[in-house]
Amino acid sequence: MAREKSSKDNAQALFHSLRSAYAATPVNLKIIDLYVGFAVFTALIQVVYMASVGSFPFNSFLSGVLSCVGTAVLAVCLRIQVNKENKEFKDLPPERAFADFVLCNLVLHLVIMNFLG
């Protein structure tokens, strides 16, 4: 009983400290996190749909899922580069980071459109 209670306490303490730490992040990073969450959620929906309906044509499924995963990953890279706490990127202007992000997304979606079939 005591062990269960302590583990439940642990989980709650974990949850609370995560929540408070996350609330301290700046707004622009939270927007990027929201975008990443949305992209991953869309990818999950597509996977569930594929599991229920079947994977033909496979290239369309792959292009759909990979576009979501790809843009999520690129957004995480943008977040890393824009985050002021990362010492490695402190002399990278955020405009440059965003321009790289847009360019990579452009290439990603062009390839997706070719692959969609």
Partner 1 sequence: MATMPILPNMPVLDLVKSFKLKTKQQELLIRVSILCLVYVLAFITRLFSVLRYESMIHEFDPYFNYRTTLYLTQNGFYDFWNWFDYESWYPLGRIVGGTLYPGLMVTAALIYRILHFLRFAVHIREVCVLTAPFFASNTTLVAYFFGKEIWDTGAGLVAAILIAICPGYISRSVAGSYDNEGVAIFALLFTFYLFVKAVNTGSLAWSLASAFGYFYMVSAWGGYVFIINLIPLYVLVLLITGRYSMRLYVAYNCMYVLGMLLAMQIRFVGFQHVQSGEHMAAMGVFFLLQVFYFLDWVKHMLSDTKLFQAFLRITVTCAVAVGAIALGLGMLSGYISPWTGRFYSLLDPTYAKDHIPIIASVSEHQPTAWSSFMFDFHILLFLFPAGLYFCFKRLSDATIFIVMYGLTSMYFAGVMVRLILVATPAVCLVSAIAVSATVKNLTVLLRSKNKGVQTGSTKGSSSSKASSKALLDQSQPFQKNGAIALLFGAFYLLSKYATHCTWVTSEAYSSPSIVLAARGAHGSRVIFDDYREAYFWLRQNTPPDAKVMSWWDYGYQITAMGNRTVIVDNNTWNNTHIATVGRAMSSYEDEAIEIMRSLDVDYVLVVFGGVTGYSSDDINKFLWMVRIGGGVFPVIKEPDYLVNGEYRVDKGAAPKMLNCLMYKLCYYRFGEMLTEYGKPPGYDRARGVEIGNKDIKLEHLEEAFTTSNWIVRIYKVKPPNNRW
User: Rule CB under 8 A: which residues touch partner 1?
Assistant: 10, 13-14, 17-18, 21-22, 58-59, 62-63, 66, 69-70, 73-74, 76-78, 80-81, 85-86, 88-89, 92, 97, 100-101, 103-104, 107-108, 111-112, 114-115
Q: Which of 66, 67, 82 is nearest to 33 (CA)?
A: 82
CB of 45 to partner 1, least distance (A): 19
Kindly tell me which of 20 and 52 has the beta carbon lying closer to partner 1: 20
Angle between helices 58-82 and 27-53 (to 10 degrees): 170
Q: Which of 15, 81, 75 is nearest to 40 (CA)?
A: 75
Kindly tell me which of 17 and 49 has the beta carbon lying closer to partner 1: 17
Kindly tell me which of 17 and 28 has the beta carbon lying closer to partner 1: 17
**Cis amide prior to 57 (ω within 30 degrees):** yes
Whole-Å CA distances, 47 to 4, 5, 38, 73, 105: 36, 37, 14, 17, 21
Kindly tell me which of 1 and 24 has the beta carbon lying closer to partner 1: 24
CB of 4 to partner 1, least distance (A): 14
